[in-house]
Copies of this chain bind each other. A is one copy, B any other.
Amino acid sequence: MSATVLFMSMSLDGFITGPDDGPGNGLGDGGHRLHAWLADGGEDPASYRPADASGAVFDELMATGAVVVGRRTFEIAGSWNGDHHDDVPIFVLTRRPEGARAWPNVTYVTDVAEAMARAKEAAGGRDVLVHGARTAQLALAAGALDELEIHQVPVLLGEGRRLFEGLGREHIELELARVIDAPGVTHLRYRVRPV
């Protein structure tokens, strides 16, 4: 059964970037700290796959069959030159698809539930990689996110962009499905409980 899974590196204080993130500074000032676990894990220069316990999580991410991402994150990442991994289809959430740059694998979608549903269909039974804070917030609000894979990084960044913001006061219940205590990062997998 295909699941939509948010993969995000987050500091213990909840940030996914340092301050002043934007084009040319995707992770914000000092935000590269959040990806140190990828480099510190004995990165294979050809693939970035960590050689330690983080490798299994990296493999899951790379085994996804489609990607859903917000347009802001997508463009700040240089659109991954149109290919996130293995040429899987990418669904980019945007309010204004008109004029967006065309890529062979990329579909622009305005509604988060539609983006998730089309990505699941396109993934052919594999999981869907979800990325970006705003997309995560919209997907949670729409009940369209199945799981969270949080790479919790042992640092307090102090400032930056928060992953969980503006969710409103309704609780969203989670269930911890797995903990991987890897060097320099704790991978926490949660299932989102349907309301």
Q: Interface residues, chain A, CB within 8 Å of chain B?
A: 12-14, 18-19, 29-30, 33, 140, 148, 150, 152, 154-159, 162-164, 167-176, 179, 181, 186, 188, 190
Please, how many angstroms separate the alpha-carbon atoms of A14 and B150 in the complex?
13
Contacts of A155 in B (CB 8 A): 171-174
A-B contacts, 27 listed (Cβ < 8 Å): A12-B148, A12-B174, A12-B190, A13-B14, A13-B167, A14-B162, A14-B164, A18-B169, A19-B169, A29-B169, A30-B171, A33-B171, A152-B188, A154-B173, A155-B171, A156-B167, A156-B171, A156-B172, A158-B167, A158-B169, A158-B170, A158-B172, A159-B167, A159-B168, A159-B169, A176-B186, A179-B181
Contacts of A168 in B (CB 8 A): 158-159
Contacts of A181 in B (CB 8 A): 176, 179
Apart from A14-B14, A158-B167, 17 more pairs, CB < 8 Å? A13-B164, A13-B167, A14-B162, A14-B164, A33-B171, A140-B156, A152-B188, A154-B174, A155-B171, A155-B174, A156-B164, A156-B167, A157-B169, A158-B169, A159-B169, A179-B181, A186-B188
**Smallest CB–CB gap between A185 and chain B, Å?**
9
Contacts of A163 in B (CB 8 A): 13
Please, how many angstroms separate the alpha-carbon atoms of A97 and B71 in the complex?
53
Contacts of A150 in B (CB 8 A): 12
**Smallest CB–CB gap between A152 and chain B, Å?**
8
B179 touching A179 by the CB < 8 A rule? yes
Contacts of A19 in B (CB 8 A): 169
Contacts of A164 in B (CB 8 A): 12-14, 156, 158
Contacts of A162 in B (CB 8 A): 14
A30 and B156 in contact, given A12-B164, A181-B179, A186-B179 (Cβ under 8 angstroms): no
